[in-house]
Amino acid sequence: NGLICVLHDITEQEKIDAERREFVANVSHELRTPLTTMRSYLEALADGAWRDEELAPNFLEVTRTETERMIRLVNDLLTLSKMDSTDYQMKVEWVNFIKFFHRIIDRFEMTKEQNVTFQRNLPDQAMFVEIDEDKLTQVLYNIISNALKYSPEGGQVTFSVEERGKWMVVSVSDQGMGIPKKSIGKIFDRFYRVDKARTRKMGGTGLGLAIAKEIVDAHGGNIWAESEEGKGTTISFSLPYERAEEDEWS
């Protein structure tokens, strides 16, 4: 029995080591891509393109975009590594999720550039949950950014919140191209993208949903996706919820 335990530990450890190696390989690759792009553009500029009034601003713009991608990536990596650390602590508070969610949707509504309409199916009454507001803001930010990114011109993004037994379920639906069945289980993995080339062009890091999952897990909830190709995608997550007594919060 002792031997089996040792073997079990070894395979667990091997699995963790393999995952870590894969993660480092992915990070290196993700950083190398923008760096090599920037190097070639900078070399061209140094070799004389800087004198070309048309090429120079264009090449500088590319290096700026690539720099921004690297900053996003490094920020996402820092978020993940903070959450992975053993002394990670969340700052939880009781928050009226409905008010909080409206505020976040408002912010997207004010800044969105696409022609996309928003539909809010949120209850009128307050729903209090114990959450780390900054972390949940990031979850919603990542999910809503994707919904907008993949929405077609004139599409609709629907936000909903409902009570399901001891859970509050939050969903964001879009009418985008959807996610193939074989990929649906993987989109919460670090660095997974359905279409690498396309999403890289759209500025994604492949970490947004992995971060969202870490945060929702840390709150004791679940996150999942439902999607139909060509029709749209719904990303939902649940948080532990207990309805307050009538006058508890008044």
The binding site for ligand ADP (CB under 6 A) comprises 142, 146-147, 150, 174, 176, 179, 187, 192-195, 199, 204-210, 233
Measured from each CB, the residue nearest to ligand ADP is 204
Minimum CB–partner distance for residue 66 and ligand ADP (Å): 15
Minimum CB–partner distance for residue 224 and ligand ADP (Å): 12
C-beta closer to ligand ADP: residue 193 or 219: 193
C-beta closer to ligand ADP: residue 72 or 130: 72
C-beta closer to ligand ADP: residue 79 or 96: 79
Strands (E), 73-174: 93-96, 117-121, 128-131, 156-164, 167-174
Three-state DSSP at 37 gives helix
Angle CA(50)–CA(52)–CA(53) in degrees, nearest 5? 105
Q: How many CB atoms lie within 10 A of CB 233?
A: 24
Minimum CB–partner distance for residue 128 and ligand ADP (Å): 28
C-beta closer to ligand ADP: residue 13 or 121: 121
Give the integer Cα–Cα distance in Å for 202 and 199: 5
Strand-strand pairing, 128-131 and 93-96: antiparallel
C-beta closer to ligand ADP: residue 84 or 124: 84
Minimum CB–partner distance for residue 76 and ligand ADP (Å): 8
* Contact call for residues 100 and 67 (beta carbons, < 8 A): no
Minimum CB–partner distance for residue 123 and ligand ADP (Å): 24
Ramachandran category for residue 52: left, alpha or beta (phi over 0 → left; psi -120 to 50 → alpha): beta
* Contact call for residues 224 and 216 (beta carbons, < 8 A): no
Minimum CB–partner distance for residue 92 and ligand ADP (Å): 24
Minimum CB–partner distance for residue 147 and ligand ADP (Å): 5
C-beta closer to ligand ADP: residue 59 or 174: 174
Q: How many CB atoms lie within 10 A of CB 215?
A: 24
What would the two tokens of residue 160 be?
């909903």
C-beta closer to ligand ADP: residue 130 or 189: 189
* Contact call for residues 135 and 197 (beta carbons, < 8 A): no
Give the integer Cα–Cα distance in Å for 161 and 121: 7
